[in-house]
Amino acid sequence: MPRDRNPCVYILASAPRGTVYIGVTSDLPGRLYQHRHGVTEGFATRCRVHRLVYFEMAETMDAAIAREKQLKRWHRDWKLNLIERQNPEWNDLAPVLGIAERL
């Protein structure tokens, strides 16, 4: 049975106000698993950026990609403010998605 696809843009952080990583996916729980278990090499794995601190669902993958590109162009302070408006404590939001594993 095919998995549901839910396009979204997400932000991971190493710690509150720490290093941030912005990504896009159609399978956020699966992508979080990959980040947290080092399945793929890259910035998030090297810098231990694993805490899900922000995500936005999108209507289409094209919309999610456009939003990702927009957020990546933002100044760091704008990104931090975006996160803190929805998640002032920088909590790991994975449990909101039903992902029990916490970091």
pLDDT tens for 64-76 read: 999 999 999 999 9
Number of domains forming the structure of the chain: 1
Work out the pLDDT band at 100, boundaries 50, 70, 90.
Answer: low
CATH for 51: 3.40.1440
- Identify the residue whose tokens are 């909590």: 91
pTM: 0.88
What's the rounded Cα separation, in Å, for the pair 62 and 59? Answer: 8
For residue range 10-48, list pLDDT tens digits in order.
999 999 999 999 999 999 999 988 888 778 777 766 777
What's the rounded Cα separation, in Å, for the pair 13 and 1? Answer: 33
- 60: containing domain: 8-97
Q: Considering the domain boundaries, does residue 42 fall inside one? A: yes
Q: Considering the domain boundaries, does residue 64 fall inside one? A: yes
